[in-house]
Amino acid sequence: MAEAIARDLVDRGEVPGVKGDGIFFASAGTWAADGVPFSSEAHRVLGERGIALDGRSKRVTREMAVGADLVMGMTKSHVEAVRAIVGPVGLRCELALDPQEVDDPVGLGVAAYRRVADQLSQLLPARLSEMLRT
């Protein structure tokens, strides 16, 4: 959901100082299984916001992370896991909503997905503005 919401925010011009030209967003999980469809709750909550969600899950690889200008983790453990996967290479990997972590809504019902979507929608514009301008 974070990828879709971030892309939507940039596309709609809601990230101060950032234009969407040339920005590529991709999502991969530190413990995700490759090829799993996104949850019906994620589709529902994003659909309520007019945001399309397509594709399937993928596990982050060293190549993905090293090839990225910026990697954002939802939790501190995600950031640490990506850094461990990459090793001692210069990598810009930060907590997406620093200093807050984003709770994983899996298995908690549609209300939990809405709370996470609200949190991301409210806090990502300023955070993306900060991270993408530096």
Domain 2-128 has CATH 1.10.760.10: no
For position 130, what pLDDT does the model report?
Answer: 87
Global confidence as pTM: 0.86
The pLDDT of residue 31: 81
The answer to whether the CB of 17 falls within 8 A of the CB of 131 is no
Reading the block at residue 124, the tokens are: 């990502």
Residue stretches of the chain with pLDDT short of 50: none
Domain ranges of the chain: 2-128
pLDDT at 53: 82
Tell me how far CA of residue 38 lies from CA of 28, 66, 83, 95, in angstroms.
12, 25, 25, 22
The 10 Å CB-count burial string (b at 16+, else e) for 115-128 is: ebbebbbeebbebb
3-state secondary structure of 12: coil
d(CA 124, CA 9): 8
